[in-house]
Chains A and B, each alone.
Chain A
């Protein structure tokens, strides 16, 4: 291990707060480390690897069976086709992918998913950032009110879907709130134009508090002296936000944006429970399309091809996440 790696690790541990919470670490000198490394090399050639692998074995087995094998299976299956007539499976190469890209249902689900992502991600991050800024101010009751916003993260997706499905009914809670404001009753889930927005509101109710927590942690890491200096220079509140807060919040913001994008690509329970992809396919996001293809239509190979496309897309987003976070340091 090079000293740069060691340094990076120490820094990560320190950032994670482990210096205070963790066991006390006695700082070793560089010379001591080198000496120790030599001693290790002399007495235990080859052994550390075996010890490590023995401890890693169960996790490696889980990783293989639960992640890599199914991914490989999905890939293999996506290249083959099982005839409904003869039951025979044959290799069709990229045929399933070609079928998918010629299938109007699939193309619509891609459009819906992209449109949904383009709306929901910026919206949720902007809301989370605004709330994080608001809830790091000092005023009476701020801690309690912050907890109210964070509360929904304990609600499992299926539960929030159940609660909101009743709230979205024509005679439900939301229409009664609207009527107080003098707005006529809305169809919500049964309208092709409103169904996706209804899902977005529900998902934001669950998600915004969660992402807000990361951003609050990031905001609290910004030294107040920077703000004081900016104030002395006569910077307005807006320019302080723009030139101090935002640049220093880059890492948590990048993380939150990408993690949110990934989780929104995988939205399933609310769609299945509230709209079943409808009305008129307006909420047929990719995860739901895959599920229908596999279990309602019954074409597992096509579904696996779609799984592969989704996994590739999500992995690409995860890699961008690593780039953004490691980028300019």
Chain B
């Protein structure tokens, strides 16, 4: 096949993948009555709003949906901060000093975190209800903290830090926590970024858990607010699309910003 044929095929496929998002973006810029007007007959107007308006986005700022997006941000960012601390400490424990049985311990930690979280969300929700953690930020954040992949990524990176460096620091009188905070963490920025991305995406995309544990308006997360909107009698499609675009744009910008680390983190997953 010729190069031009490949390019044609790839263009067609690329556009097919982009079409739903482009359509959501253009619909989010339309006034209320205009949304379905241009769908039934496909034309350039299906994808380009004649009079683009930011009204739908303005309604997001004031409504429950805006609150939900803010909640999603809070939950994801706190998860990244606390999760990185826990995961990097664990990775340090699994790499800085060596002892017998360490390999087995590492396998247990990573394997247990591989139990798919969504599958055990229902028993965990029962437990969290007993502990009065429903409709609290703590309840929403906790499950995102332990992540096998984050620990795995960080440990791989930590293993490459030379033992001589640690030994020298120890001789200079630095405690183990000092070695962790002043040598390992500053040296590991790329790995911390990959692990942080993993934690962020996990929380940002989660659906089953917030559906079980965050049901009141004050603790709803973005995806749940979106799903609830569809259950109402009159759906504000403009707001639905605007919300969809915001919920997509935030992780997209973060992924694009840290693209190299993202590819690295998923490439490492393949070696698990």
Binding site for B on A (CB under 8 A): 1, 5, 9, 12-13, 15-19, 21-23, 25-26, 28, 36-37, 40, 44, 47-49, 51-56, 58-60, 62-63, 65-71, 73-74, 77, 131, 134-135, 137-142, 144-146, 148-149, 151-167, 171-173, 175-177, 179-180, 205, 209-210, 213-214, 217-218, 251-252, 255-256, 259, 262, 265-266, 268-269, 272-273, 287, 290-291, 294, 300, 303-304, 307, 310-311, 314-315, 318, 321, 325
What CA separation (Å) do A304 and B226 show in the bound complex?
28
How would you classify the secondary structure of chain A's contact residues: helix, strand, loop or mixed?
Answer: helix
Interface 1/0 per residue, B82-126 and A, CB below 8 Å: 000111011011101111001101000101111111111011101
A-B complex: 4 closest residue pairs judged by Cβ atoms: A158-B223, A55-B93, A62-B146, A59-B90
Q: Does B143 sit at the interface, judged by CB under 8 A?
A: yes
A65, A205, A218, A294, most chain B CB atoms within 10 A: A65
B93, B161, B176, most chain A CB atoms within 10 A: B93
Q: Tell me the B174-207 residues at the A interface (CB within 8 Å).
A: 176, 180, 187-188, 190-191, 204-205, 207
What CA separation (Å) do A153 and B98 show in the bound complex?
38
Shortest CB-to-CB span from A283 to chain B, Å, is 16
Classify chain B: how many residues form its interface, as a range. Answer: 35 or more
- Contact partners of B10 in chain A: CB under 8 A: 134-135, 139, 141-142, 145
Binding site for A on B (CB under 8 A): 3-4, 6-7, 9-11, 13-15, 17-21, 23-24, 27, 36, 39-42, 46, 85-87, 89-90, 92-94, 96-99, 102-103, 105, 109, 111-120, 122-124, 126-127, 142-143, 145-146, 151, 156-157, 159-164, 176, 180, 187-188, 190-191, 204-205, 207-208, 222-224, 226-227, 229-230, 237, 240-241, 243-244, 247-248, 251-252, 255, 263-264, 266-272
Q: Is B255 within 8 A of A154, CB to CB?
A: yes
Q: Is B113 within 8 A of A273, CB to CB?
A: no
| Neighbour of B93 across the interface among A12, A16, A52, A162, CB < 8 A | A52
| Neighbour of A25 across the interface among B4, B36, B162, B264, CB < 8 A | B162
Chosen A-B contacts, 23 in total, with CB atoms closer than 8 Å, are A12-B271, A22-B161, A48-B98, A52-B93, A53-B93, A59-B93, A59-B151, A142-B10, A151-B18, A153-B255, A154-B251, A156-B251, A157-B205, A162-B243, A163-B20, A163-B23, A163-B24, A164-B20, A173-B39, A252-B270, A268-B118, A314-B119, A318-B111
Shortest CB-to-CB span from A137 to chain B, Å, is 5
Q: Is A63 within 8 A of B109, CB to CB?
A: yes
Shortest CB-to-CB span from A72 to chain B, Å, is 9
- Contact partners of A158 in chain B: CB under 8 A: 207, 222-224, 226-227, 247
Q: Is A311 within 8 A of B207, CB to CB?
A: no
Q: How many A-B residue pairs have CB under 8 A?
A: 314
What CA separation (Å) do A321 and B19 show in the bound complex?
34
| Neighbour of A325 across the interface among B17, B156, B272, CB < 8 A | B272
Shortest CB-to-CB span from B267 to chain A, Å, is 5
Closest chain A residue to B186 by CB distance?
A23
Shortest CB-to-CB span from B237 to chain A, Å, is 7
- Contact partners of A144 in chain B: CB under 8 A: 14
| Neighbour of B176 across the interface among A51, A217, A255, CB < 8 A | A51
Q: Is A17 within 8 A of B120, CB to CB?
A: no
Shortest CB-to-CB span from B132 to chain A, Å, is 15
Q: Is B11 within 8 A of A214, CB to CB?
A: no
- Contact partners of B109 in chain A: CB under 8 A: 56, 59-60, 63
Closest chain B residue to A74 by CB distance?
B123
Q: Is B20 within 8 A of A70, CB to CB?
A: no
Q: Is A303 within 8 A of B122, CB to CB?
A: yes
Shortest CB-to-CB span from B249 to chain A, Å, is 8
What CA separation (Å) do A139 and B3 show in the bound complex?
6
- Contact partners of A9 in chain B: CB under 8 A: 159
Closest chain B residue to A158 by CB distance?
B223
- Contact partners of B190 in chain A: CB under 8 A: 21-22
- Contact partners of A165 in chain B: CB under 8 A: 230
- Contact partners of A262 in chain B: CB under 8 A: 116
Shortest CB-to-CB span from B101 to chain A, Å, is 8
- Contact partners of A40 in chain B: CB under 8 A: 98
Task: Evaluate whether A166 and B237 lie within 8 angstroms (CB atoms) in the complex, with A137-B6, A214-B270, A294-B122 already known.
Answer: yes
Q: Is B119 within 8 A of A134, CB to CB?
A: no
What CA separation (Å) do A62 and B112 show in the bound complex?
11
Q: Is B252 within 8 A of A151, CB to CB?
A: yes
| Neighbour of A63 across the interface among B113, B126, B161, CB < 8 A | B113
What CA separation (Å) do A67 and B116 show in the bound complex?
9
Q: Is B116 within 8 A of A159, CB to CB?
A: no
Give 10 new A-B contacts, CB below 8 A, not counting A62-B145, A149-B17: A13-B159, A15-B271, A48-B97, A49-B99, A141-B11, A156-B223, A159-B248, A162-B240, A214-B270, A307-B120
Closest chain A residue to B206 by CB distance?
A156
Closest chain B residue to A127 by CB distance?
B13
Closest chain B residue to A266 by CB distance?
B118
Q: Is A255 within 8 A of B207, CB to CB?
A: no
